[in-house]
Structure 1
């Protein structure tokens, strides 16, 4: 990491801080890196110590908004949780990631984890320096293992229901690829963190298909989860009904409430997203942008 150009801070005890003995499982062989946002601020110690329901360490490294990069754990850490085995296999093979619709494999066994200090909501941007350090962290580990940027994934790409990190992972991987090509220690300009993109046509298809499909059917997991997270943030959908990736009847009803709030009536407030209403939902919450 230092060779990549990072300033590295070391939390006391990080070199022996892990969940190996407690879980009875060793860390590795490692196949890739996983990117998270913390969902809060001033949470370095939380990531080191953990919570009452989830013991620390909660990552291998924590990246503050202004505090820089801190080493937190060395070995197995509680950051990835259960992941989709198809996604893990794709990371291992450095192939395009499939939809993460089932979480039965333990990602803590095989993934490095970075927690980035950010609430993950609109109005909480990633400073350019912080985002750049995240790119360097991922590139440093990929370089050490001989991996490409295809070994980098977001938590939202591995575990159903997750929306972190709250920036576009394709943009992030492109920045990692650029850094790997430049070589360690090179200063390469990095574009600012871009918001995730929701494909309107795919979301419309999900809103029309999922309500009548069998329980657990998923048409467009990432876009649905982001839309539901926005509806939850604005109070139109209960959190208990969000995050399963299915644009079901409850989500349709919640989206219709949002449409009526915007002044739509009749067939224009039927819960099927339109470009204007979806764009305004993304802008209002800051969680995503829309592509047609």
Structure 2
């Protein structure tokens, strides 16, 4: 989405005073704006003489984010990209692979839905273990402190079916391929996703095959409700970022 100053010509409310105010809080781009706590930003305007105008500027940025979408592309280009570059990652479970028509699709966001304690996290462990063992890097974003290395060890041991003397090597490789981040609010989630975006852009050989967010609802639910434009804008931004990472870098994403 770019630097805030790039919006100055198009939107009168985003003037040099507003940009100065944002800069004083370390905000120079739309991405910086999103990972900042906007409620605190609004509160910081209260003692300022131009408080109302600054709040209008904040609302303007939120409106821009809410209506922002990826430019339309030629359908044939999208189809060719899908057929040539996007593949399926096996989940390690034949029933899941059949259900998902081959496995977890690269370039797609797959949403796993179910009531509390129905086993969603265990399914995520299964996906992560198989991909980390056989295919490459996994980024596991843990919002509920539920990541269990012990459970992962059990799954890897079960999937590998190797002789006991080989299991340790396979387990170490699988666990080395899993990058786990604790994300306890939507700002931490956005921050980690932006870090991954920069890593994927700048590091050759940095290969992530799967991103798991367990669970996204616990991060999104607290910021929604009523006419909360900020919460909706944050939700849109998370969805856009996940889809962008999936499509641009041929990553399978599970939430």
TM (norm. structure 1) is 0.26
More helix by share: 2
Bigger relative contact order, structure 1 or 2 (CA pairs below 8 A, ≥6 apart): 2
Q: Report the structure number with the largest CA radius of gyration.
A: 2
